[in-house]
Amino acid sequence: MLAPLRFERGPRQMMLSLLIALPLVGALVVAFLPGRPGDALPKWAALAVSLATLAVGAVVGIANADTGKTWAEDHAWIQPIGAHWALAVDGLGVTMVLLTVILVPVVIAASWHDADTRNTRGFFALMLVVEALALAVFCAQDVFLFYLVFEATLIPAYFLIGSFGQGPARTAAAVKFLLYMLAGGLVMLAAVVGLYAFSAREGAASYLISDLGHLTLSTNEERLLFVGFFVAFAIKAPIFPFHTWLPDTTGNATPGTSVLLICVLDKIGTYGMLRFCLELFPGASEWATPVVVTLALISIVYGALLALGQDDLLVLTGLTSLSHFGFIVLGVFVLNDQGVSGATFYMFNHGLATAVLFIAAGYLIKRTGTPLLSRMGGVAKKAPVLAALLLLGGLGTLGLPGLSPFVSEFLVMLGAFRHHWWVGTIAVSGIVLAAAYVLRAYRLAVTGPERESLAGVRDVGVREVAAIAPLVALMLLLGFVPQLALSVINPATGHTVSTSEAGAQK
């Protein structure tokens, strides 16, 4: 629940609608451009649209950082059921918006040749659709609108995996992904209907989050609604035991698609836990904390152990995210300022570091012809810049001091130890294991004796370096000056924690 919200109308108050409409309209234009597979026009058009969206997102972000302004707009949408086109962003929302608009042009540039033999226009158009829907999710302030775009993200994601994936089991992986997400969405739909019914019971039926935050619910009602939302978000995030779709997806999707899925769309799960679970169901969140914290700790350790024994580089990178999402969920549900601020910052930093790792891994796999670490080795001698990019992504993933993921991980750990010493102690083991699986993967993939089969490997080009460079620069900048982000995040997360504490005491 954002506070204070002042919904207005006018050209200046349509900025968030413009932010969402720009990539959606751009996707239509790209989809109907003339040309053959591999033509450059759809690529340049998609890149131009994503950069224009980045510019609009930067305006929203800068205004929020400078003035603390909560961008908001509200328009009657489906009047018979009381649904509104209600959009707003505070520090939490704008963090996710900025992550999305930063990553999409990076992914487009890094995926330049990934669909040259297929439907190039469709591939890049789907990426823009993913961007538009993700932005709508992070801005939605009406639960019905949120649910619709939450489910709609599955459509472009399914086709990006199933139609444009690079693994032999891409169709099966896409179906598994879709079934898991639909199952979670159906559970959440029941909770959405329940929220509307309970608001109608009090005489003011509404889907607006600002109205639903004042509902009077019995203990059992609140807990049932919490479970409905949490299960959907836990599948989306994902955390143990809802994670089994993750390795199949990352092992068969293109690296660019995996970045959109893991670094953008999966953040909807942890964003939803903050926006809905903590703010709308504070008593139930406190009730569920022991179970959720346990699941988060299992995710941290189990994901790291799976990654440590993995031979497929793309699957390994996906499994590291199981561990990292465990840290994020842990930060959310320790229910204190450090944990929640750290979790929000972690969402942003995980997006940066994991995107670098996925994209650099994709470059390496294209050059070696295999995703298997056991068949790589000695690449550093032939491609030192590529080796350096892979190392930077790995160091960001393991939280090296000086890079921004370290700051968010440190804040989550502070919150965990403040919650209970044993929670922090178990979580620390995930940091140790992260160093082990990153260094093992790097050693197998890059160092060691040069293989004869890799003698013709070439280094990365200017375009490939330019795609990753902004993410590396951001990790360095926010690693040394984290207050640039935390000054935006802390007011919003402070409000979330205070709202949750006040609601839990009722």
Average pLDDT of the residues of the chain: 88
379 and 446 Cβ atoms separated by less than 8 Å = yes
SS3 per-residue string spanning 242-308: CCCHHHHHHHHCCHHHHHHHHHHHCHHHHHHHHHHHHHHCHHHHHHHHHHHHHHHHHHHHHHHHHHH
Alpha-carbon span 309 to 43, nearest angstrom: 37
Nearest residue to 343 via CA among 237, 472, 225, 229: 237
Mean of pLDDT values over 153-162: 93
Tell how far CA 204 is from the center of its chain.
34
Alpha-carbon span 460 to 462, nearest angstrom: 7
Nearest residue to 335 via CA among 393, 303, 288, 384: 288
Nearest residue to 83 via CA among 74, 91, 92: 74
Q: What is the pLDDT of residue 35?
A: 76
Q: What is the pLDDT of residue 10?
A: 43
Based on C-alpha coordinates, what's the Rg of the chain? Answer: 22
Q: What is the pLDDT of residue 66?
A: 52
Mean of pLDDT values over 118-145: 93
Q: Is the pLDDT of residue 504 over 70?
A: no
Pick the more confident residue, 167 or 194.
Answer: 194
Alpha-carbon span 223 to 217, nearest angstrom: 9
Alpha-carbon span 381 to 237, nearest angstrom: 38
Sign of the Cα torsion 282, 285, 289, 293 reads negative
| pLDDT tens column, 359-390 | 999 999 888 888 888 888 778 888 889 989 99
Q: What is the pLDDT of residue 34?
A: 84
30 and 42 Cβ atoms separated by less than 8 Å = yes
Mean of pLDDT values over 12-30: 89
DSSP letter assigned to residue 76:
E
- What residue ranges do the domains of the chain occupy? 11-504
Mean of pLDDT values over 407-433: 93
Pick the more confident residue, 383 or 506.
Answer: 383
Residue 113 has φ and ψ, to the nearest 5°, of -110, 15
335 and 83 Cβ atoms separated by less than 8 Å = no
Percentage of the chain lying above the pLDDT 90 cut: 60
In this structure, which amino acid lies at residue 15?
M
Q: Is the peptide bond before 238 cis (omega within 30 degrees of 0)?
A: yes
Pick the more confident residue, 230 or 199.
Answer: 230
Q: Is the pLDDT of residue 68 over 60?
A: no
SS3 per-residue string spanning 190-215: HHHHHHHHHHHHCCCCCCEHHHHCCC
Alpha-carbon span 195 to 191, nearest angstrom: 6
What residues are paired with 78 via a beta bridge?
A: 83
Q: What is the pLDDT of residue 423?
A: 92
Confidence of residue 344 (pLDDT cuts 50, 70, 90): very high
For residue 140, give the 3-state DSSP assignment. Answer: strand
Confidence of residue 3 (pLDDT cuts 50, 70, 90): very low
Mean of pLDDT values over 212-236: 90
| pTM for this predicted structure | 0.92
Residue with tokens 């995980």: 350
Give 115's Cβ-side CA count (13 Å radius): 32
Q: What is the pLDDT of residue 505?
A: 63
| pLDDT tens column, 286-315 | 999 999 999 999 999 999 999 998 999 999
Q: What is the pLDDT of residue 7?
A: 44
Q: Is the peptide bond before 401 cis (omega within 30 degrees of 0)?
A: no
Longest CA span, the chain: 75
Q: Is 310 left (phi over 0), alpha (psi -120 to 50) or beta?
A: beta
DSSP letter assigned to residue 153:
T
Q: Is the pLDDT of residue 12 over 70?
A: no
Alpha-carbon span 95 to 448, nearest angstrom: 40
DSSP 297-337: HHHHHHHHHHHHT--BHHHHHHHHHHHHHHHHHHHHHT-SH
Mean of pLDDT values over 31-52: 89
343 and 270 Cβ atoms separated by less than 8 Å = yes
Least confident of 195-204, 418-427, 444-453: 444-453
192 and 226 Cβ atoms separated by less than 8 Å = no
* Interacting residues of 113 by C-beta distance below 8 A, sequence separation 6+: 38
14 and 73 Cβ atoms separated by less than 8 Å = yes
* Interacting residues of 340 by C-beta distance below 8 A, sequence separation 6+: 274, 278, 331, 332, 334, 415, 493, 496, 497
Q: 429: exposed, middle or buried (C-beta count within 10 Å: 0-12, 13-18, 19+)?
A: middle
Q: What is the pLDDT of residue 6?
A: 45
Q: Is the pLDDT of residue 102 over 90?
A: yes
Mean of pLDDT values over 387-410: 92
